Structure 1
Amino acid sequence: MARDNLIGGGLWEEYSHEVQRRMDNPTNMGEITEEEKGNNELIIADFGAESCGDAVRLYWLIDPKSDTIKTSRFKSFGCGTAIASSDMMAELCMDKTVDEALEITNIEVEKALRDNPDIPAVPGQKMHCSVMAYDVIKKAASMYKGVDMDSLESEFIICECARVSQDTLKQVIELNKLSTIEQITDYTKAGGFCKSCIKPGGHEVKDIYLVDLLAEGVEEIEAAEKTRKIIEAKGNGNFASMSLVQKIKSVESILEEYIRPTLKADGGDVELIDVKEDTDAFEVLIKYQGECMSCSMNTTTTLAGIQDMLTFKLKANIRVIVT
């Protein structure tokens, strides 16, 4: 079934040789019987994907003294990609502790099936076939630990293929001010495989899609930007009349837009500690972070630059003090 021998190539060209080899001749397929158990604990876990009808049964022989998986085998009821993915999943579990096996991700399975580190082993629309790898591992681990399967998942996963959580996506969208699905995929890999998580109508039905998180994130970014501009506008010639909270937000917005990008480019940062009113000036207390802490210019050139920018933007007499 090698790709090079197929007439016209076609879809087969999108599958690695390793995937095709394991489709035809899986290394770890089979059962583990009670007779093989010995002093080890035998775990048999089943998991099925309702969306496509594929199912996998995972067998583990675990040394109870060390929680190490001594033998790992599988049976798969599904397409060739599901067989190849399950075969690699079972192999990756071998000689790991149960907790270490829980850290195996779908992407790790897919990458292990690649011929070339930079070329995906399967077409994106078939990535969902490896999703069962993580789920059946979680099922087996929950059986061994005697806990509910859901208790082993601490995050709400949006993209099952890449194992990207809702919290991670929200943070990435907000911190990097993302505005397109393509940007989300570039930053997190979410939506780059079977694409079911992007919007309704894909391979699997989701409660929340990337388009929902993106719309939410863009709305929050736009609202924050409006707030920042209002705060900064209030500071122009009117800093003295602002409340302490407004003063702090105004200073913070200027640091974020005009100061931090330069400092972060050199591995540093600055934290706003407080804003105080003195007899002849407003004292802005800051603390340097990262490389700025040891920089020889943190009390001279850099400090003067921060003070000048705040004075110019806020139209007020500002004295910056390093704590």
Structure 2
Amino acid sequence: MGKNNLIGGSIWDEYSQKVQDRMNNPRHMGEFTEEDAAKANARLIVADFGAESCGDAVRLYWLVDEKTDTIKDAKFKSFGCGTAIASSDTMVDLCIGKQVKDVVKITNLDVEFAMRDDKNTPAVPPQKMHCSVMAYDVIKQAAAQYMGVDAESFENQIIVCECARVSLGTIKEVIRLNDLHTVEEITQYTKAGAFCKSCAKPGGHEKRDYYLVDILAETRAEMERERLKIAATHDDISFDDMTMVKQLKAVESVLDSEIRAMLHSDGGDLEVIDIQKSNEGNVDIYIRYLGACNGCASGSGATLYAIENILQEELSPNIRVMPV
């Protein structure tokens, strides 16, 4: 099948050659029967996973050696787009020859990475990333069936988006890997927030513990802190010896990643008014509390101590925080 039979123009360039090859010539598409399992002296496992909201689904077949719990062979059927076929075919490759206890560790990122032509270029356009998530989920369904447990028992991470089954770890990793800046980009890459949208931001039909808007802000702040630390290490300059501008950036980064979420939960916030070096060698950071924190007794007690302690641990033991 030629390129123009599937996708035209420059859109095709967004797909790796590996993805294109597997779209056109999947290696493992097909099915196994109980007769096939008997011939292979193996147990047949058939698992399904799909999402009505996006129209894609996959059926996974395993032939498992019950003496060693090893997947001797595997096949799949895909009911969806070409990317779903390529993702499922790659997923089967990653399963064959492994023990069931090990394949449950395969993530959607492993599937997507395996389809890349080079490690720094995504294998598929953002809107197709959800296909690798689907491949990841059907593995959990098959393993749960074989082991006689609930598929959710394999989750070792917090699920942020129930619709697309996307974990907190996956979202943070995708933000970092692809240098994402908006919630819309997170949705494009993972499908998190694409359906009911409750996980995108507060105010949806279902209250969530984690929201994409907060995860994005916190992860970006962590990335900025790491960048500043690397820059400081490269320049061999300690926080105490930085210019005030660099000190302010470093302080704001720590506040964003470690402190502001705590204040926001109580309806408060703070702003940095000034940074001064004292004659005693201290770095005095002057702050003003905002919102509910303004006038709160804890602002000069436990909250102040917590802010100062975090800044001292992250940046310099010589920091003093002075509320004004």
Q: TM-score, normalised by structure 2?
A: 0.61
Counterpart mapping for 1:82-93 below 5 A: 82-93=84-95
* Aligned twin of 2:139: 137
* Aligned twin of 1:255: 309
For 2:90 and 2:75, how far apart are their aligned partners in 1?
10
* Aligned twin of 2:150: 148
Counterpart mapping for 1:168-179 below 5 A: none
* Aligned twin of 1:9: 9
For 1:216 and 1:7, how far apart are their aligned partners in 2?
36
For 1:90 and 1:210, how far apart are their aligned partners in 2?
35
For 1:137 and 1:21, how far apart are their aligned partners in 2?
22
For 2:108 and 2:170, how far apart are their aligned partners in 1?
19
- CA-to-aligned-CA distance 1:209-251 (integer Å, 9 cap, x gap): 257626668883553795778xx889xxxxxxxx999655433
Match of 2:192 among 193, 197, 209: 197
**CA distance 1:121–1:214, change in 2 (3 Å):** closer
Q: Are residue 208 (structure 1) and residue 199 (structure 2) matched?
A: yes
**CA distance 1:205–1:69, change in 2 (3 Å):** same
For 2:267 and 2:93, how far apart are their aligned partners in 1?
50
**CA distance 1:117–1:214, change in 2 (3 Å):** closer
* Cα displacement (A) at 1:133: 0.5
For 1:9 and 1:197, how far apart are their aligned partners in 2?
28
For 2:263 and 2:14, how far apart are their aligned partners in 1?
40
* Aligned twin of 2:167: 164
**CA distance 1:211–1:39, change in 2 (3 Å):** same
* Aligned twin of 1:60: 62
Give, as a single letter, the amino acid of the residue that structure 2 aligns with 1:88: T
For 1:81 and 1:7, how far apart are their aligned partners in 2?
12
* Aligned twin of 1:99: 101
**CA distance 1:115–1:90, change in 2 (3 Å):** same
**CA distance 1:228–1:126, change in 2 (3 Å):** closer
* Cα displacement (A) at 1:59: 0.7
For 1:121 and 1:128, how far apart are their aligned partners in 2?
12
| Contact 1:2–1:20 (Cα < 8 Å) also in 2 | no
* Aligned twin of 2:26: 26
Give, as a single letter, the amino acid of the residue that structure 2 aligns with 1:98: V
* Cα displacement (A) at 1:6: 9.5
For 1:42 and 1:102, how far apart are their aligned partners in 2?
17
* Cα displacement (A) at 1:126: 1.4
- Percent identity, aligned pairs only, is 43
- CA-to-aligned-CA distance 1:104-132 (integer Å, 9 cap, x gap): 11121111111122111111111122222
* Cα displacement (A) at 1:31: 1.6
Q: Are residue 220 (structure 1) and residue 266 (structure 2) matched?
A: no
> How many residue pairs are counted as aligned between the two chains?
248
Give, as a single letter, the amino acid of the residue that structure 1 aligns with 2:62: W
* Cα displacement (A) at 1:7: 10
Gaps of 5+ in 2: 204-210, 218-259, 272-285, 289-296
Rg (Cα) greater in structure:
1
Give, as a single letter, the amino acid of the residue that structure 1 aligns with 2:50: G
| Contact 1:3–1:9 (Cα < 8 Å) also in 2 | no
Give, as a single letter, the amino acid of the residue that structure 2 aligns with 1:20: Q
Provide the secondary structure at the position in 1 that maps to 2:113. Answer: helix
* Aligned twin of 1:301: none
- CA-to-aligned-CA distance 1:132-158 (integer Å, 9 cap, x gap): 201211111111011223333353232
For 1:144 and 1:110, how far apart are their aligned partners in 2?
25
| Contact 1:105–1:163 (Cα < 8 Å) also in 2 | no
For 1:51 and 1:7, how far apart are their aligned partners in 2?
23
For 1:244 and 1:5, how far apart are their aligned partners in 2?
66
Gaps of 5+ in 1: 174-180, 235-242, 264-304, 315-323
Provide the secondary structure at the position in 2 that maps to 1:193. Answer: helix
Provide the secondary structure at the position in 2 that maps to 1:22. Answer: helix
* Aligned twin of 1:284: none
Match of 2:83 among 81, 84, 96: 81
Provide the secondary structure at the position in 1 that maps to 2:122. Answer: coil
| Contact 1:43–1:59 (Cα < 8 Å) also in 2 | yes
**CA distance 1:97–1:246, change in 2 (3 Å):** farther
- CA-to-aligned-CA distance 1:58-113 (integer Å, 9 cap, x gap): 11111212211111111112211111111001111111111211111112111111
**CA distance 1:150–1:252, change in 2 (3 Å):** closer
- CA-to-aligned-CA distance 1:191-210 (integer Å, 9 cap, x gap): 4515x434xxx3x3344225
